[in-house]
């Protein structure tokens, strides 16, 4: 028996963290007895092939955000799901306005995954005005407003002018998405056995892989390989920097890897060097394998995940010397890997999926079997 239909609004199903986490939560909601519909602006993205069995896909046929309003209202009027979950501005503006336009009777939840003021800081005054104005106008029409970290929620409240109490913090479900299973062979691109420093993330400026490379070049550690998993526009610049720093043979950049489990399993240290993060899923993924963590103390998630340094080392943003020192200390230190794994379980998929259900369908637990 289908308890209710949950609609998930996304631009597409490209290989991003927000998209992947929704696929994982959808699988749990389906097991709970809900119907799940992925409502995409356009049917595209590598993760379509990972759509959970039983989930359906709706293509709005909207190549741009501004052309999605009418198709979304038609969907809401025709399909009438019991709840709509939208992720990432400007979809978080579009969803409550479309629902309001058709007098949608279901609940609308919006979820932001990055500190918007920082993410769009370089777009200029006009864009900042649009960002501020749109959130102030549309956010009040949502039934639930979610930030994936306290820092994100704080920023959303300041941006929109709404009280901080109007925002709920629901962390990303990063544990259990790639749960350790059995013995994973060492990836061949890592070559002969030796220690591995790992980072995982799109090759874009905010991730500061250039900072990580400069820090890595300072390490006086033999038989050490830096592995950067990810793909993006920064690849040519990063490859040039590898040459300039004379790191040939010490850095591996194999590109995007759909399942990095084997890399986590064979990593000796995980490093995040970002200027900012909404949350930092990859930190939790590494902790799930008991991998020690060094991260920049960037807004807004890493410090929350690591509890201010209890579960890893935090360094100032943009400081390669401090990052290098922390990496070297971590490589030479001892770590309670069982504690790291236990902390990762605080961000389990099932736990977070249920927290989302509490906001989407507040009475859902009353309908569960005893």
| Per-residue pLDDT tens over the stretch 45-57 | 989 999 999 999 9
Which CATH architecture group holds 5-173+348-367? 3-Layer(aba) Sandwich (3.40)
**Overall average pLDDT of the 197-205 stretch:** 95
Tell me whether domains 5-173+348-367 and 188-346 share a fold. Answer: yes
Instruction: For 279-325, give the DSSP string.
Output: S-HHHHHHHHTT--EEEE--SBSHHHHTGGGTTSEEE-TT-HHHHHH
Q: What is the pLDDT of residue 360?
A: 97
For domain 188-346, say whether CATH 3.40.50.2000 is its number. Answer: yes
Q: Does 370 have pLDDT greater than 50?
A: no
Q: Are 306 and 330 in contact (CB under 8 A)?
A: no
Q: Are 215 and 330 in contact (CB under 8 A)?
A: no
Q: What is the pLDDT of residue 205?
A: 95
Strands 56-59 and 35-40 come out as parallel
Q: How far is CA 329 from CA 219, 320, 325, 326, in A?
A: 10, 14, 6, 5
Q: Residue 361 and residue 83: Cα distance in Å, rounded?
A: 7
Q: Residue 98 and residue 101: Cα distance in Å, rounded?
A: 5
Q: Distance between alpha carbon 323 and the CA centroid of its chain, in Å?
A: 23
**Overall average pLDDT of the 274-289 stretch:** 94
Strands 144-147 and 167-169 come out as parallel
pLDDT tens readout for residues 152-184: 999 999 999 999 999 999 998 876 655 454 456
Mean pLDDT of the chain: 92
Q: What is the pLDDT of residue 221?
A: 82
Tell whether the torsion through CA atoms of 285, 154, 121 and 87 is positive or negative.
positive
What SS3 state is found at 203?
A: coil
Q: What is the pLDDT of residue 285?
A: 93
Q: Are 81 and 37 in contact (CB under 8 A)?
A: yes
Q: State the Cα torsion 67-68-74-75 to the nearest 10°.
A: 160
Q: Does 92 have pLDDT greater than 70?
A: yes
Per-residue pLDDT band for 122 (boundaries 50, 70, 90) equals: confident
- Sequence spans of domains, the chain: 5-173+348-367, 188-346
Q: Residue 158 and residue 99: Cα distance in Å, rounded?
A: 24
């Amino acid at each position: 028996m289908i308890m209710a239909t949950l609609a998930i609004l996304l631009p597409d199903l490209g290989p991003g963290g927000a998209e992947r986490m929704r696929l994982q939560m959808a699988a749990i909601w389906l097991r709970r007895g809900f119907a799940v519909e992925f409502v995409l602006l356009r049917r595209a993205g590598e993760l379509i092939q990972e759509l959970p069995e039983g989930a359906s896909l709706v293509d709005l046929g909207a190549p741009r955000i501004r052309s999605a309003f009418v198709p979304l209202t038609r969907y809401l009027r025709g399909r009438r799901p019991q709840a709509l979950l939208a992720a990432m501005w400007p979809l978080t503006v579009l969803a409550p306005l479309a629902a309001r336009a058709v007098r949608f009777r279901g609940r609308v939840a919006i979820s932001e995954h990055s500190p918007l003021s920082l993410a769009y800081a370089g777009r200029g005054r006009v864009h900042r005005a649009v960002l501020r104005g749109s959130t102030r106008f549309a956010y009040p029409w949502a039934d639930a407003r979610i930030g994936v970290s306290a820092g994100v929620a704080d920023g959303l409240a300041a941006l929109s002018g709404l009280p901080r109490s109007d925002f709920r913090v629901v962390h990303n479900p990063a544990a259990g998405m790639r749960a350790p299973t059995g013995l994973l062979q060492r990836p061949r691109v890592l070559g002969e056995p030796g220690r591995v420093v790992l980072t995982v993330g799109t090759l874009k400026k905010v991730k500061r892989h250039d900072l990580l490379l400069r820090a890595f070049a300072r390490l006086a550690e033999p038989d050490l390989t830096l592995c950067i998993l990810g793909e993006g526009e920064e690849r040519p610049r990063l490859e040039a920097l590898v040459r300039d720093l004379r790191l040939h043979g010490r850095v591996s950049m194999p590109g995007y890897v759909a399942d990095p489990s084997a890399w986590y399993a064979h990593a000796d240290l995980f490093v995040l060097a970002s200027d900012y993060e909404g949350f930092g899923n990859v930190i939790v993924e590494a902790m799930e394998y008991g991998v020690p963590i060094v991260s920049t103390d960037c807004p807004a998630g890493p410090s929350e995940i690591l509890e201010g340094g209890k579960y890893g080392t935090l360094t100032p943003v943009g400081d390669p010397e401090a990052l290098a020192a922390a990496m070297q200390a971590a490589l030479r230190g001892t770590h309670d890997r069982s504690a790291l794994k236990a902390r990762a379980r605080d961000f389990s998929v099932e736990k977070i999926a249920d927290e989302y259900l509490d906001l989407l369908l507040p009475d859902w637990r009353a309908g569960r079997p005893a």
